[in-house]
Amino acid sequence: MTAALDGVRACIGLGANLGQPTLALRHAADALAALPETHLLALSRFYRTPAWGRVDQPDFINAAALVHTRLAPEVLLESLLRIEREAGRERGPESRWGPRVLDLDLLLYGGQVIDRPGLRVPHPHLHERAFALVPLAEVAAAEPFPGHGTVAEALRAIDGTGVEPVQGVAGMD
């Protein structure tokens, strides 16, 4: 199953706080760029962000990627989950908001609203999470964010305190 023949722009959140998070995000970006029918358009700088949900864990390194893809949203999501598994990520209810070697979230997909079992786009809490919106606005400020206008408009509505660029680490070279 594919999306429209000409494809869509999709936004992906990247995060990690175990092992070597910066390296994990670099490898994940390479894996995104290697997906079939997908082109990595932009990768944000990397940001250090305080843990969210469960705060008794190391800070996260977060980034955002903008891709152009012909993959259907379900296929793209499965690809993200495969990349996580290959990095050593084990998902489960006990690990919700916990430490992880890699977290990839499908945040936005072509301005669409998708609500299916296992797939909700826009990501249901994106509008509340500076750790996702700050890097996303860097690469996709004008992207449509259903229910919130654009990514930039959603970012203006929240406090981005604590989301700081990692010095010496750029996104796409």
The residues assigned a catalytic role are: 89, 100, 103, 105
Query: Taking the CB of residue 94, how many other CB atoms lie within 10 A of it?
Result: 7
Q: Would you state the structure tokens that stand for residue 54, as one six-digit string?
A: 């469960």
Tell the residue number behind the tokens 């959603």, with chain if given.
Answer: 154
Left (φ > 0), alpha (ψ -120 to 50) or beta: where does 164 sit?
beta
